[in-house]
Amino acid sequence: MHVRHSSHLTAVVFFSLFWLSLPAFAEEIRLLVRTSPRDSVEVAGYDSAGVRYICVSDLATALRFASAVNDTVQKFEFRVSAQRIKFSRNNPFLVVTDVPSNASSVYQLSQSVILRERKYYAPLFAFVSFFDRMWAGGVSLDSITHTLSLGSFEDAPEFDITGVSIERKSNGYLLIVHALRKFGEVEAWLKPDGWLFVTIANAKADTFALSRTRLFGAVRSLLTFQSPTSVQLTFKVSPDVAQAEVIHEPESHDLLIALRTLSPPEKEAIEKKRQQAIQENLEKERSRWKLDVIVIDAGHGGKDPGALGVAKTKEKDITLGVALKLGKLLEKNLKGVKVVYTRKTDTFVELYRRAQIANEAGGKLFVSIHCNSLERKPSRARGFEIYLLRPGKTEEAIDIAERENSVIQLEEGYEQRYQKLTEENFILVTMAQSAYVKYSEHFAEIAAETMEKHSTLRNSGVKQAGFYVLVGASMPNVLVESGYISNRAEEKFLKSSAGQTKIAEALFKGIKQYKEIYEKALSEGSKQ
Ligand SMILES: [Zn+2]
């Protein structure tokens, strides 16, 4: 905007105030619009809360612009040469549409447009600086007299960038920026996301003419920014434009920018690479979930014997026996599956360490093997149970978890290591395991079935309680209480190699079945 003091305009200052029946903060004013040194018209305005507004409805009438009001959506528009300018009530954005090309842009005013008595008002200063860009001859505002002067078209500034045309070439496109003089500094920068910036120093562009550039082919849009020192042309080009290069043509003033598009083989190669990457990612994802590492945890060990049976059988020996037998079955029968043991000998392993071993090995299933026992021995309770990590529901389940958890007292500094499994901590723990809960449940159901069918033990069902050994496992996990050693008959069975083999076989069948179902679902899921 060129704000000129109107010394050369021998204007009569026309600036009168009217008090009307309006809210106290609004002050009616009259603005003078000078259309030529001889002619001027009055336009309503008003001051409100320190902001001066101009009535654009009056302005359109005074300047004989084609205009229209839409009361339903509260919009007003007028047309200046080929541009349509739309005002919306309570909205600071003007929508400017180039009528021939139907291309729109948005201009933000400093304040929202106001509707008063069916007339639209825009903040004066912001509007003038907008209007200055629209009006070829420029617009100036005398900030003392508040006289708006419209420059004649003869006063229009001289442009040296007058337009852009696009030509198709065999290997791309040629952008021709028409210039009226020779420019030295031109930069073209193509960003990988398809924006091409062309900056021309010390230039003045006919933005109106540029807004009407006929776009086609790889060139999808053009925005022109005129700054005091340079012009920036921003093109959006299609993704197959691989390169933009400024060509120096000594014969002509025009600026030439060659856009090289990808050749069909190049495009094909890129597409092939993309497909390959997708495939590789899918494969990676699939193998990440593949059930290829199974962690078997033999409960207790070393200085921790676990529960003692009626005939003093130690739980730790039974769990190790079953674990080793189960591991052997898995290694022998499930190809491509790695079996990881938290212990293979009679050694003491801290509870937290067991889940850690499983996580470090990238386990996809964690099975902790234990035996049940009651305080009162001998007793008649019998059968196996499969536990999921959840707050204990029954007193019996809570007791069992407490007994299994009590081993932490053999560990040094256990108070700091294990958080009490309060209701609140359970929420955190189950949240951490939420991705695996569904799978843990699914495996528990399958294992309970195969255990019932093949172990000869009674199925006491899938239960839930807070076992520390499961807390840190970042994979589906269950704890198997395989029979009661406080029961004479079951102790004998669990102690025997034949009994341990039966349990191992039953668990093996469960794991095998789970793996098949799981991997089938996985491959079906990844085909989508
Ligand atoms: Zn145990």
Tell me the per-residue pLDDT of 319-361, one tens digit each, with 9 for 90 and over. 999 999 999 999 999 999 999 999 999 999 998 899 999 999 9
Share of the chain above pLDDT 70, in %: 91
In the prediction, which pLDDT does 11 show?
31
Helix, strand, or coil here: 474? Answer: coil
* Residue 226: per-residue pLDDT: 78
Q: Are strands 40-48 and 51-55 parallel, antiparallel or unpaired?
A: antiparallel
Beta strand pairing status for 75-80 and 172-179? unpaired
Average confidence (pLDDT) over 28-51:
85
Per-position DSSP letters for 395-431, written without gaps between them: HHHHHHHHHHHGGGGGSTTHHHHS----HHHHHHHHH
| Per-residue pLDDT tens digits for 247-263 | 877 888 899 999 999 98
391-416 average pLDDT score = 80
Top pLDDT among 140 and 502 is at 502
C-alpha 449 – ligand 1 centre gap (Å): 22
Cα-to-centroid distance, 471 and ligand 1 (Å): 15
* pLDDT class of 431 with cuts at 50, 70, 90: low
Distance 481 CA to ligand 1 centre (A): 7
Candidate CATH numbers 3.40.50.300, 3.20.20.10, 3.90.1170.50, 3.40.630.40; the one for domain 288-527: 3.40.630.40
Average pLDDT over residues 228-250: 88
Q: Average pLDDT over the chain, rounded to whole?
A: 86
Residue type, 25: F
Rounded mean pLDDT, 493-517? 96
Calculate how far, in angstroms, residue 468's C-alpha sits from the geometric centre of ligand 1. 11
Chosen CATH of 161-264 out of 2.130.10.10, 3.30.2020.30, 2.60.40.3500, 3.10.20.90: 2.60.40.3500
Find the mean pLDDT for residues 480-496: 96
517 alpha carbon to ligand 1 midpoint, in Å?
29
- The mean pLDDT value for 394-419 works out to 79
Q: b or e along 428-439 (b: 16 or more beta carbons within 10 Å of the residue's beta carbon)?
A: ebbeebeebbeb
In tens, the pLDDT along 441-450 reads 999 999 999 9
Tell me, what's the pLDDT at 104?
A: 81
The class (CATH top level) of 17-155 is alpha beta
- Mutual orientation of helices 497-527 and 434-454 as an angle, nearest 10°? 140
pLDDT at 422 over 70: no
The domain spans of the chain are 17-155, 161-264, 288-527
> Average pLDDT in the 268-283 region?
89
pLDDT at 312: 94
Q: What is the pLDDT of residues 292-325, one digit of tens each?
A: 999 999 999 999 999 999 999 999 999 999 999 9
In this structure, which residues have their CB less than 5 angstroms from ion ligand 1? 299, 306, 370, 404
From the list 469, 472, 496, 512, the residue with the least C-alpha distance to 297 is: 469
Q: Which of 10-14, 42-46, 105-109 has the weakest average pLDDT?
A: 10-14
CA of 426 to the centre of ligand 1 (A): 21
How far is the centre of ligand 1, averaged over its atoms, from the C-alpha of 330 (Å)?
Answer: 22
Q: Is the pLDDT of residue 9 over 50?
A: no
Dihedral of CA 518/519/520/523: which sign?
positive
